[in-house]
């Protein structure tokens, strides 16, 4: 047998499923391994995002108006589609896996495209004025990307943005001066759609040393700042003396004071600004607990152009919620 004939006799047929006489492009492509034609169900992706934001199957079911078994089924089917586990879970906690973290971005992109296509083909166009309040915490995140995409999708909506302390935004919403608020949830409150949950930390300049025997130098928002109330309450509850080193209603002002080493500030652990770091446990500062970031709407649920626009933006924020605990890229 010659080398060429041996090659011909042992090589596999490169196209065993071609129909005789049919052009190559009319035959199906055969693949091995994972199904490359898998379609990700928007309902399952929306459930996945909600579980990722709440880290709770029970809370996700409550928000979505589904049974908990349905939420579990959606997640399981999405994991089957990806061939990867997206959550690690036991009876006490739910956490995203590395593949789950990756799916956050993919799910947001897919759902955003799905919403745009739906709006385009149904011919629904939102219009009118939408007054949105956003807490200072999101000034350094990728929230502007979500707002930019919303404006591109809904050019006839006049977006009016207010950036303020969470406590002030709560007051303005109650007074009817805002249509949608993204802010910290006040202590004791239970209303609002949960976007993200994080712990609060004491942060300061990396070289700052806090003397346990002296009053804690504090960098604070003015009243009615929610982190201010949490910091003072924690220190007073622990019997720890404190003094005010800096007060500013601007996040950039607080960050500048902290970088200068004037003192410590209570801040969301997942949004620590560059140049600052958690304070060492040796300082003996009390725990601050967690904080919920929520979307809030006025109590009046009557249909209106502003209500429709607020619902659309709320859906976009909930879909892209992972961007809210990622720092914006510096260009």
Read off the tokens for 63: 């928000």
Distances 189 to 170, 291, 294 between C-alpha atoms, Å: 11, 11, 11
Q: What is the pLDDT averaged over residues 315-321?
A: 79
Q: What is the pLDDT averaged over residues 299-321?
A: 80
The share of the chain scoring above pLDDT 90, in percent, equals 44
- Give pTM, 2 decimals: 0.65
- Least Cα distance to 104 among 330, 327, 318, 329 occurs for 318
Q: How does residue 30 score in pLDDT terms, banded at 50, 70 and 90?
A: very low
Read off the tokens for 114: 């799905």
Q: What is the CATH number of domain 197-291?
A: 3.40.190.10
CA 241 to chain centre: 35
DSSP structure class, residue 324 = G
Q: pLDDT tens-digit profile of 58-74?
A: 888 888 888 999 999 99
- Is 13 a residue whose pLDDT tops 70? no
- Is 326 a residue whose pLDDT tops 70? no
pLDDT at 16: 41
Read off the tokens for 307: 């209500």
Strand partners, 313: none
Lowest-confidence pick of 92-101, 171-180, 298-307: 298-307
- Is 38 a residue whose pLDDT tops 70? no
- Is 19 a residue whose pLDDT tops 60? no
Lowest-confidence pick of 31-45, 83-97, 111-125, 178-192: 31-45
| Domain ranges, ordered by start, for the chain | 37-124, 197-291
Q: Alpha-carbon distance 235 to 227, whole Å? A: 12
pLDDT at 59: 85
pLDDT at 248: 94
Coil, strand or helix: which one is 200? Answer: strand
- Is 24 a residue whose pLDDT tops 60? no
- Is 133 a residue whose pLDDT tops 60? yes
- Is 2 a residue whose pLDDT tops 60? no
The share of the chain scoring above pLDDT 70, in percent, equals 83
User: Rounded to the nearest 5°, which phi and psi values hold at 140?
Assistant: -105, 10
- Count of CB atoms situated within 10 Å of the CB of 22: 9
CATH of 37-124, one of 3.40.710.10, 1.10.10.10, 1.10.3720.10, 3.30.450.20: 1.10.10.10
pLDDT at 53: 81
- Is 26 a residue whose pLDDT tops 60? no
Lowest-confidence pick of 20-34, 99-113, 315-329: 20-34
- Is 323 a residue whose pLDDT tops 60? yes
Q: How does residue 91 score in pLDDT terms, banded at 50, 70 and 90?
A: confident
Let me know: does 287 contact 305? Beta carbons within 8 Å.
Answer: no
């Amino acid at each position: 047998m010659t080398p060429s004939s041996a090659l011909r006799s042992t090589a596999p047929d490169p196209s065993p499923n071609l129909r005789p006489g049919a052009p190559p492009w009319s035959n199906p492509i055969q693949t091995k391994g994972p199904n490359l034609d898998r379609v990700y169900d928007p309902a399952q992706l929306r459930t996945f995002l909600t579980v990722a934001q709440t880290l709770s199957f029970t809370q996700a079911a409550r928000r979505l108006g589904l049974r908990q078994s349905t939420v579990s089924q959606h997640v399981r089917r999405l994991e089957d589609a990806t061939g990867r586990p997206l959550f690690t879970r036991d009876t006490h906690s739910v956490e995203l896996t590395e593949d789950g973290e990756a799916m956050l971005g993919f799910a947001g992109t897919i759902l955003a495209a799905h919403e745009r296509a739906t709006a385009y083909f149904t011919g629904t166009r939102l219009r009118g004025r939408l007054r949105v309040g956003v807490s200072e915490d999101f000034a350094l995140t990728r929230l502007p990307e979500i707002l930019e995409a919303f404006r591109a999708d809904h050019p006839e909506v006049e977006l009016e943005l207010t950036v303020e302390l969470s406590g002030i935004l709560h007051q303005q919403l109650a007074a009817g001066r805002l249509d949608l608020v993204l802010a910290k949830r006040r202590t004791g409150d239970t209303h609002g759609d949960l976007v993200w949950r994080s712990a609060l930390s004491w942060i300061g300049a990396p070289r700052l040393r806090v003397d346990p025997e002296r009053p804690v130098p504090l960098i604070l928002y003015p009243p009615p700042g929610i982190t201010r109330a949490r910091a003072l309450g924690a220190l007073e509850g622990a019997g720890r003396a404190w003094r005010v080193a800096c007060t500013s209603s601007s996040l950039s002002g607080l960050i500048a004071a902290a970088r200068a080493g004037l003192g410590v500030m209570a801040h969301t652990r997942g949004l620590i600004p560059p140049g600052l770091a958690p304070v060492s446990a040796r300082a003996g500062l009390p725990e601050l607990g967690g904080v919920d970031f929520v979307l809030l709407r006025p109590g009046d649920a009557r249909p209106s152009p502003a209500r429709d626009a607020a619902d659309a933006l709320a859906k976009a924020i909930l879909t892209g919620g992972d961007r809210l605990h990622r720092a914006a890229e510096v260009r």
